[in-house]
Amino acid sequence: MSARWEDGCAVRLGKADGSRSVGGVGFIISKEWTTKIASCHFVSSRIGVLNVNLSGKATLKIIQTYAPTSASDDDEVEEFYRQLDMVLARKSTYTVVMGDFNAKVGKGRQGERYVGKFGTGERNERGERLVTMAEARKIYIGNSLFKKNSEKRWTWIAPNAAHHNEIDYILVDKRRILQDVSVVTPFNTGSDHRLLRAKIVIDRTKEKKTLHLTSREERVKVYDGKRLQEAMERKSWCRIDGIDDDYNSLIEKLKECLREAKEAGPREQKGRISEETKKLLEKRKNMKRTAEDHLEYSILGRVIRLQLKRDFEKYRMEKLLKAAEERKSLKKCER
């Protein structure tokens, strides 16, 4: 659904899951930003994507989420993260992910680069899944990066008002643009969740230089035999009077043919998830949920989560090792 308020703000709303009245995400865009909207679509009742054009060719991708609750089964959780990963894979200059992840992340642990040290509470299984995704996709969990007192951290209150948890998060792929993440305490929405606000500053003058320095290296060039043949056929190979002129002309034409035949080689496509883990995911997908198989299903889910974490860590370490062997910047490799 699309609408516009009297003050000029645009509203984009997705649909809930009609069978269970679950989910339903959306965006409210200020009047000043409505002219910058490139597209807005909803992947599912739990994920919406707003693409915004910034100055020049820069783009900002904002992903709004509502993750399955603790009552949902593992298959639903994995489907949510599969869809989220698919959206994150689409190219944009900046990416912001925000929403209710129904997960407790806690403080960052040793070896975790994209979780800060200021999270609250103990990490649960859903928190582990969120961290695994963040580390794999190199996206920072913003809440954990800023020190706040406990009253300004919790985002959800239990029905009995006895417990508070931090389960809503704002994530960014560029740490430098995020200046703060905090709860808006005075604003009462009538919900059991509190508003979460991020301060994001994109200085396009500085960013142009930074993005240029951190851009991906040019792919290795390879020669296309067909293009080389076509280039040679287009040239005139007539002899010129004088052996020196003939030699110089031949060398120059050969160089031109090679330049025309040169193209970027294919990028190395190495998946983060191992074949073993894929087989386990497929096995769980095909399992029937029965009382007899409940224990096996639960154990399999735990094994899959551990395997995913190991796969992502192995992928990261292989990239770092390759960068070290080639004497490249380890910091750039981590980005």
For 219-285, give the DSSP string: PPEEE-HHHHHHHHHHS-----SSHHHHHHHHHHHHHHHHHHHEEEPPPP---SS-HHHHHHHHHHH
Helix axes 275-286, 74-88, angle to 10 degrees: 130
The pLDDT value given to residue 218? 44
> Which is nearest to 52 in space by CA: 36, 31, 35, 34?
36
The pLDDT value given to residue 221? 59
The pLDDT value given to residue 249? 79
The pLDDT value given to residue 188? 76
* Percentage helix, strand, coil for the chain under 3-state DSSP, each rounded to 5: 40, 20, 40
Rounded distance, CA 183 to CA 172, Å?
A: 17
Rounded distance, CA 312 to CA 226, Å?
A: 39
Q: What does pTM read for this prediction?
A: 0.68
Residue 29: strand pairing partners: 10
The pLDDT value given to residue 267? 47
The SS3 call for residue 44 is coil
Q: Taking the domain 2-210, which CATH number applies? A: 3.60.10.10
Beta strand 140-141 with 156-157 is unpaired
Task: State the greatest distance between any 2 C-alpha atoms of the chain, in Å, as a whole number.
Answer: 98
Rounded distance, CA 161 to CA 170, Å?
A: 24
Cβ neighbours of residue 157 closer than 8 Å, sequence gap 6 or more: 163, 164, 192, 194
> Cβ distance 285 to 277 under 8 Å?
no
User: How many helices and strands (H and E) does the chain possess?
Assistant: 9, 15
**Tens digits of per-residue pLDDT, 181-193?**
999 987 777 789 9
CA angle 323, 328, 333 (to 5 degrees): 60
The residue ranges of the chain whose pLDDT is under 50 are 216-219, 264-269
The pLDDT value given to residue 19? 65
The SS3 call for residue 10 is strand
The pLDDT value given to residue 217? 45
The two tokens of residue 107 are 């403080």
Residue type, 216: R
φ, ψ dihedrals at 53, nearest 5°: -85, 125
**Tens digits of per-residue pLDDT, 200-257?**
999 877 777 777 655 544 445 566 777 778 778 877 777 766 777 777 778 888 887 7
CA angle 137, 141, 147 (to 5 degrees): 155
Surface-to-core class of residue 257, CB atoms within 10 Å of its CB (0-12 exposed, 13-18 middle, 19+ buried): buried
**Length of the chain (residues):** 335
Rounded distance, CA 97 to CA 90, Å?
A: 13
Write down the residue that tokens 């142009």 correspond to.
208
